[in-house]
Amino acid sequence: MTSAAHTAVLVHLLALLDTVPYLVIRRAQTAPGELGTVDFDENLVTVSAEADLPEFVVTLMHEVRHLRRGPCYEGDEEVDEAVVVDETTRLLVPDEALPEDLDTVDPRKLAAALGIDVQTARHAIALARQDRTSTIGKVA
């Protein structure tokens, strides 16, 4: 099954290859509760062997975003993680993929249609609500 999310991940992988001499992606055991990791020195992305396909897609995009951003400063890990989660979600679920009336969106159906996990679909809906109601950057 190929989805828009799979295509987005591939596009970002190819863009990353323009910035690093090589990239290694592997599936392996990760720490409990961790779906993916990045080794910046080795350009190595590890995705949990336990991840199902939707989790794999989201985790791979997430870790690629970390790799493209580079290591964060010590003490900024939580902020960096939140930014990467939002970036990943917006890349995998562009606003155009969502209906005008967000109250009608079933996150499970959205996730299945896009080939992503339900958690990311829920986050996309929350971000869209926030973006659509924000007045920041809008001209009165």
The CATH number for 127's domain is 3.30.2010
Domain count, the chain: 1
Asked whether residue 139 is assigned to any structural domain, the reply reads no
The answer to whether residue 140 sits within a structural domain is: no
In the chain, which ranges are E strands? 24-28, 36-39, 44-48
Q: Is residue 52 part of a domain?
A: yes
Instruction: Indicate whether 29 belongs to any domain.
Output: yes
Residues 6+ apart with CB under 8 A from 6: 57, 115
Report which secondary-structure segment, H or E, holds 124: helix 118-133
Q: Is residue 138 part of a domain?
A: no
Query: What pLDDT is recorded for position 140?
Result: 57
* β-strands 36-39, 24-28 pairing: unpaired
Measured distance between the N- and C-terminal CA atoms of the chain, rounded to whole angstroms = 44
Please report the pLDDT score of residue 45 as a whole number.
96
Whole-structure pTM value: 0.88
pLDDT tens, position by position, 119-140: 999 999 999 999 888 766 666 5
Predicted confidence (pLDDT) per residue in 4-57, tens digit:
778 888 888 888 888 888 999 999 999 999 999 999 999 999 999 999 999 999
- State the pLDDT at residue 18: 85
Q: Which domain holds residue 85?
A: 4-133
d(CA 135, CA 67): 32
